[in-house]
Each structure stands twice: as structure tokens, then as C-alpha cells.
Amino acid sequence: MFNGLNFRNLVLIGALAICVGLSICLSYSQRQSQRLSEQNRTLQAENQLFAEQQKNQAQQLHRYQLQVDQLNNALQQQKQHADSRTEQLNEALKNEQNQTWRNQPVPDDIKRLFNANGL
């Protein structure tokens, strides 16, 4: 089969086969490198997007916390106001002049007034 080929030609064919093999390996390696580089760019873009989303969510959470604090303060003020009014009413009912009025039925006009105002 290789009778007509001398040693020099065999070495050249072997070197050519090695070069072709190396060329195939380098081509495959380059394609892999390009694919990994593209994946890296995609992951970096996703990472940046997630970081921006996290920042926005943190800001939104901060705004919600401020709203909760404001609502809690308003609720506390309303509670203090209601407690103060309850205390004033209790003090007024303890007054002897109001004892007789307290033990009588509330007039219908006063009931309607309280019901209309949601009291």
C-alpha cells in the first residue's frame, strides 16, 4: 500500500494529518470560546437587569415602609384623640349635673344626628 512512498513523503503526510487535526481542534476551540463569550455577555446583561430590578424593589419597599409609618402615626393620633374624647365623655358623665341626663333616653333628634355623622 505504501510501497511507492518513501519515508520523507510519509513524514509529510503525517505532518499534514497532524496540521489538519490541529486545525480542526483550533476551530472547535474557537467556536466554543465564542459560544462561551456570548453566554457570558448574556449572563452579564441578565445580572445587570436583576440588579436594577432589585434596586427598584428596594426603593419601592422603602416608599411602602414610609407609607406604613405615616399610616401608623395617623392611626396613633386618631387613637389618642379617641381616648381623649372618651376620657372627656367619662368626666362629663361623672358630673352631677349630667347624671340625670345620662339616665334618660337620648332624644330622637340627637340619635339621628349621631347616626348621620357615624358616631
Per residue in 40-83, pLDDT (tens digit) is: 999 999 999 999 999 999 999 999 999 999 999 999 999 999 99
Taking 90 as the threshold, does the pLDDT of residue 85 lie above it?
no
pTM exceeding the 0.85 threshold for the entire prediction:
no
Which sequence spans correspond to the domains of the chain? 7-94
Listing DSSP states for the chain in one string gives --TT--HHHHHHHHHHHHHHHHHHHHHHHHHHHHHHHHHHHHHHHHHHHHHHHHHHHHHHHHHHHHHHHHHHHHHHHHHHHHHHHHHHHHHHHHSHHHHHHHTSPPPHHHHHHHHHTT-
Taking 70 as the threshold, does the pLDDT of residue 118 lie above it?
no
102 falls in which pLDDT band (50, 70, 90)?
Answer: low
